[in-house]
Chain A
Amino acid sequence: MTIDQDRFDALFPASCETGRRCIIRAVDVRKIYRMGKLETHALRGVTVDIVEGEYLSIMGPSGSGKSTLFNMIGGLAKPSSGKVYIDQVDIAHLDHNELAWLRCRKIGYVFQNYNLIQVMTCLENVMLPMSFAGLDGEEARDKAMYILKLVGLGGRPLHKPAELSGGQQQRCALARALANSPDIVLADEPTANLDVRTGGEMIELFARLRDELGVTIITATHDLKMLRRSDRILWIEDGRIVRSAKPGEVDFGSGEFH
């Protein structure tokens, strides 16, 4: 799929604002869940640009639409209206095959409840997305082991998720997200189940990924340490982005924006 860059820039001038590529762009994204006659507006028009290599944190009370926004910009669900561009491609135009490729190679997901495959070992969990990408055998094993070491789980590759602590499962989930060297890592509350020390390590790891590899990090979090390290913080409430700020502009004492 080819795109006319001039037209794209004319359409979305913001993508050149920082001089970096806009890797995810959501334009007036709305999502309505219908349960029988009940309609729930999870997102009421969210527009956001996320540039390559950005470390973005999203805050918001539960039920504010954070997870829905995550699913939308991660290509896990389609918006009811509005557009989502990932790497300048409207994901509504992708068929299931291309979407699968996108989820496999482009984006690494770390879910709040890890969603590790319980019947597989840590190593197999990390190797699974590699096998979906066509990487198999020794090469995949080596790479998976390397990534597990990177997240500090090199010592227990053959344990099942049930045999690991919450923090270790979280690391395993992160290792799996990094399996295919994604451009974007989407992490939903990645430090929520970690103790302070491992949480700090996780944050450092995210920062390293951004600084050294240029990975775009998008997290939903309430962890102050994490918020401080991020480039930008979005506050989402009732399906709308109510504030966007740099960490310096936020008074972390009260948890409110200035």
Chain B
Amino acid sequence: MATSSIQRQVRLPASVAFGVVMQGIRIRLGRALVTLMGVVLGIAFLMSILTGQTIRQGVAREAEARAEVKRMMSFLTAEIGPVEGRALGVVALGPLNDLEQRLLTELRNCKASRLQWSGPLPPGLPSGFVQPAAGRAVGQGAAALLVMGAGAPDDASWKEWLAGAEQPVAAVTRRTSRAPAGAICLAREWQPDELRARAEEARRLKFRTGWIIVISLLVSVIGISNAMLMSVTERFREIGTMKCLGALSQFIRQVFFIEAGLMGLIGSAAGCLFGVVFAAAAYSLSFGTSLVLASLSPGTLLLHSALCIGAGLVLSIVAAIYPAGVASRMVPATALRSTV
């Protein structure tokens, strides 16, 4: 009896494969950058679409808010005449919403002399302009009384507020306040057909962006998988050599997946950055920088970045499945013969 000495090959830790990958990337930096560009372009496209969508939505919201404030202003001035040089009484029942804040700013821009204020003071307005009212009679000597914030004041409150007013005009900015007869409501009343049209428009927009995102994902998939395939085919000989030297198929697979993961991570991070910068720059040209920057919230950006990096990583690894399989199944002799 003789015992044959054939044993099983040891499985190498992933760190060895990682070392091989890093070495390959470092030496073939130019080639790695080309592969990386495939990922970067795909993800930059996706990210710029997402960011562009955010910017467009933000700008649309902003434009709508501005139009709404203009409308509220014109309602008010239609009732009381120009506000220039006149005082207004304001009762803040609770925290103000965006539109109410904007209305206050608009009042200041229209050169109202001052606001006689009752309730929590709003931020961002100079104290000379906003003055806490003396006592309950907020509307004393004021052109009009504005009641802002959510709440339903009783009739007695209204009476107190309007006592001594220049003209007893009351205006509410929200639908819910229990206003006395003759009070005007500045809030917009949406008609059912208007609501339907808005919903329809939102649905169309959603469909359109969904479609564009699908296309951009397709572009990314093709770019990334092409890059990964190239990096395998150009290394057939190297893979064959490694197999001749005793590399396991599993090791070869590991090398490709680690490389794909690294490329995916770095490429999509860079792609995200490029995408955001590109979209912001492009939309700045038509909407102006401040409006674009204001419409980009860090939260949304972060969410989209995470989405894009995740997509880039997954796509890279999925794209590497086929090439890595081809490489790991290759018979050493065949791999050595190839002249790619």
Residues of A within 8 A of B (CB): 1-5, 8, 71, 74, 76-78, 87-89, 94, 96-98, 100-106, 109, 111, 115-120, 124, 128-129, 131-134, 136, 160, 176, 180
Partner among B12, B23, B242, B332 whose Cβ is within 8 Å of the Cβ of A76: B332
User: Do A104 and B246 contact each other (CB < 8 Å), given the known contacts A76-B331, A89-B6?
Assistant: yes
Produce 1/0 per residue, B1-29, CB < 8 A to A: 11111111110100010000001100110
Let me know if B7 and A103 touch, CB within 8 A. no
Give the docked Cα–Cα distance between A8 and B1 (Å): 10
Among the stretches B127-135, B146-154, B233-241, the one at the interface with A is: B233-241
A–B complex contacts, Cβ < 8 Å, 14 sampled: A2-B1, A5-B1, A78-B331, A89-B4, A97-B8, A98-B9, A103-B246, A104-B246, A109-B245, A115-B241, A117-B242, A119-B23, A128-B245, A132-B251
Let me know if A2 and B4 touch, CB within 8 A. yes
User: Do A71 and B333 contact each other (CB < 8 Å), given the known contacts A5-B2, A88-B2?
Assistant: yes
Let me know if B246 and A133 touch, CB within 8 A. yes
Best-buried of A5, A94, A97 by chain B (most CB within 10 Å): A97
Let me know if B4 and A3 touch, CB within 8 A. yes
Residues of B within 8 A of A (CB): 1-10, 12, 16, 23-24, 27-28, 237-238, 240-249, 251, 331-334, 336
Let me know if A117 and B8 touch, CB within 8 A. no
Let me know if A96 and B249 touch, CB within 8 A. yes
Partner among A2, A77, A78, A103 whose Cβ is within 8 Å of the Cβ of B245: A103
Give the docked Cα–Cα distance between A195 and B27 (Å): 31
With A103-B332, A118-B238, A132-B12 given, name 19 new contacts (CB 8 A). A2-B3, A2-B4, A77-B332, A78-B331, A89-B6, A94-B6, A96-B249, A97-B248, A101-B8, A104-B9, A106-B5, A115-B237, A115-B240, A116-B241, A131-B16, A132-B245, A132-B247, A133-B10, A180-B246
Partner among A3, A4, A77 whose Cβ is within 8 Å of the Cβ of B333: A77
Nearest Cβ on chain A to B68's Cβ, whole angstroms: 63
Nearest Cβ on chain A to B309's Cβ, whole angstroms: 28
User: Do A131 and B8 contact each other (CB < 8 Å), given the known contacts A103-B244, A117-B238, A117-B242?
Assistant: no
User: Do A105 and B8 contact each other (CB < 8 Å), given the known contacts A76-B331, A119-B27?
Assistant: no
